Structure 1
Amino acid sequence: MNTSLFVLTIVGLVCANAQQFNCPAKDGQYEHPKQCDKYYECVDGRATEKICPDGLVFDQLIRKINKCDQPFNVDCGDRIELQPPKGNALCPRRNGFFAHPDESVCNIFYNCIEGEATEVVCTAGLHFDEYSGTCVWPDTAARQGCGTSGQTNILKDGFECPKNNQVSNGQVVAHPKYAHPTDCQRFYVCLNGVEPRDLGCQAGEVYNEEQQKCDAPENVPGCEDWYKDEEEPAPKGKKSKRSVRK
């Protein structure tokens, strides 16, 4: 079959499929019954078959002109078919959020836009979750090959959640936070008061124990000069003026 005839055949099949779809009275975009990334656009009762960019799927409920979204935001139901992938080593599909190809690297993922990958690193202590497209606690992500780091009651640096409850406004804090003794940028969270997680503020901020949040260095006594004369966050282990905790 020559190229021209092949193209005409494909166009003919697409048109035939579109003609088989009965447009509702109202113009709009409507999902394909079997393929989650395919849909019909109806104008004046005539249907045109369309397909989302590779990696995205169609959601009829989105109140936007562009109804193609990330798969973790869409319930495809029985529409399980998808177009063939057109990705590469870092982007299995041309669009979406994808885990690092090395299964043992769980805190790095890639944001792919039209096949171009941007590396993203999760906040310290978190793992990338493919089913939500976000960074979550390791036990929530339950990634294979990631080990059990972060699921013990003593961290590698020796931190253990204090046995005394942290109280705020007369109420016991469910997930108390504690400043790191020597690193102004880092802090700990104790899930349910017993499971420690090592986290960090974004570059340019330090942890404010009094306010229980990341804050500007000038607002935290002892950490005012943490980023002074530095372009990058302070290295792990840099000494601050914070008093070492017992």
Structure 2
Amino acid sequence: MNRFLFFALLVTIATSQKFQCPNNKNAQYEDAEQCDKYYDCQDGVVKEKLCPDGLVFDQSIRRFNKCDQPFNVDCGDRTELQPPKGTNDFCPRRNGFFAHPDSTICDLFYQCVDGESVENRCAAGLHFDEYSGTCVWPATANREGCKEDEKKLKDGFKCPAEKNKNDANGQIVAHPHFSHPEDCQKFYVCLNGIEPRELACGAGEVFNDETKRCDNPENVAGCEDWFKDADKN
């Protein structure tokens, strides 16, 4: 037998022997120091195992596979991890959710499964947070150096920097609506207050800037004859 393999086998046996299966119970148990290492006890025989790279062990999970995403597991003092086996800059470990390697790009993130990455984009106005594995508001993510591209439509419309508030209760409107300066039927929506979209009311209706809804033309000053004039053209 190769000396190196023989030595590795001795180390594995010695490590496993340190952990004793409680009452010969068939179960899996966490390592005291390494969060992605665990011990599998079957009929009193213990085997030392590792979660897939990027996942960590959670003994509280009832299903047989107890390896989960780090943001779902409280490792406590089990701070050690196996050496990373990442495949590229997008997958620093083979499994998990990771921010874009360029720290100025905060709305893109990658889901890695066995070293294969899939690019995802957060909804408008949100940043990816590796600690929670989700997209959150920039103030919650608290990431520095994020570069926000100016979002502007072809006609030059862009969402106002000042937050739009509801006149009735003073709360910030999540997706404010704005009238089109030239077309009564069209209007703009700012998703999460920053991502502009051009939309249009249905046939026979125009946008009412007071109610922020589509309405009958006779209820909107200046648009009463909008469809009558359109028929003439």
Q: Compute the TM-score of the two structures, normalised by the length of structure 1.
A: 0.68
Whole-angstrom CA distance in 2 between matches of 1:37 and 1:89: 22
When residues 14 and 107 of structure 1 are mapped into structure 2, their CA distance, relative to the original with a 3 A threshold, is: same
Cα contact 1:184–1:223 (8 A) shared by 2: no
Aligned counterpart, 2:139: 139
Structure 1 counterpart SS, 2:194:
strand
Deviation by residue 1:109-141 (Cα, 9 ceiling, x = unmatched): 000111111000000110000100100001110
Q: Among 222, 236, 246, which residue is 2:201 paired with?
A: 222
Offset at 1:200? 8.2
Whole-angstrom CA distance in 1 between matches of 2:50 and 2:129: 26
Do residues 121 (structure 1) and 116 (structure 2) align?
no
Whole-angstrom CA distance in 2 between matches of 1:86 and 1:36: 16
Aligned counterpart, 2:9: 11
When residues 186 and 114 of structure 1 are mapped into structure 2, their CA distance, relative to the original with a 3 A threshold, is: farther
* Number of aligned residue pairs: 196
Offset at 1:173? 7.9
When residues 185 and 22 of structure 1 are mapped into structure 2, their CA distance, relative to the original with a 3 A threshold, is: farther
Structure 1 residue runs without a partner (length 5+) = 167-171, 190-196, 208-220, 225-239
Matching of residues 93-242 of structure 1 within 5 Å: 93-146=93-146, 157-158=159-160, 160-166=162-168, 172=169, 176-181=173-178, 186-189=189-192, 197-198=193-194, 222=201, 242=207
When residues 173 and 127 of structure 1 are mapped into structure 2, their CA distance, relative to the original with a 3 A threshold, is: same
Structure 2 counterpart SS, 1:158:
coil
When residues 97 and 160 of structure 1 are mapped into structure 2, their CA distance, relative to the original with a 3 A threshold, is: same
When residues 13 and 178 of structure 1 are mapped into structure 2, their CA distance, relative to the original with a 3 A threshold, is: closer
Aligned counterpart, 1:212: none
Deviation by residue 1:55-101 (Cα, 9 ceiling, x = unmatched): 11000011111101111111111111110011121111111111101
Q: Which has the higher helix share?
A: 2
Letter in 2 for 1:158: P
Aligned counterpart, 1:50: 49
When residues 113 and 58 of structure 1 are mapped into structure 2, their CA distance, relative to the original with a 3 A threshold, is: same
State the structure with more CA Rg: 2
Whole-angstrom CA distance in 2 between matches of 1:63 and 1:156: 50
Letter in 1 for 2:67: C
Query: Alignment identity in percent?
Result: 51
Aligned counterpart, 1:36: 35
Letter in 1 for 2:80: E
When residues 105 and 163 of structure 1 are mapped into structure 2, their CA distance, relative to the original with a 3 A threshold, is: closer
Structure 2 residue runs without a partner (length 5+) = 151-156, 181-185, 213-233
Aligned counterpart, 2:71: 72
Offset at 1:157? 2.3
When residues 111 and 164 of structure 1 are mapped into structure 2, their CA distance, relative to the original with a 3 A threshold, is: closer
Deviation by residue 1:135-194 (Cα, 9 ceiling, x = unmatched): 0001110111115899xxxx952264445544xxxxx485544443368794455xxxxx
Whole-angstrom CA distance in 1 between matches of 2:14 and 2:3: 16
Structure 2 counterpart SS, 1:140:
helix
Cα contact 1:124–1:200 (8 A) shared by 2: no
RMSD across aligned C-alpha pairs, in angstroms? 3.3
Structure 2 counterpart SS, 1:139:
helix
Deviation by residue 1:7-55 (Cα, 9 ceiling, x = unmatched): 1221221122112101112210000111110000011111100000111
Cα contact 1:127–1:137 (8 A) shared by 2: yes
Cα contact 2:128–2:136 (8 A) shared by 1: yes
Whole-angstrom CA distance in 1 between matches of 2:188 and 2:91: 32
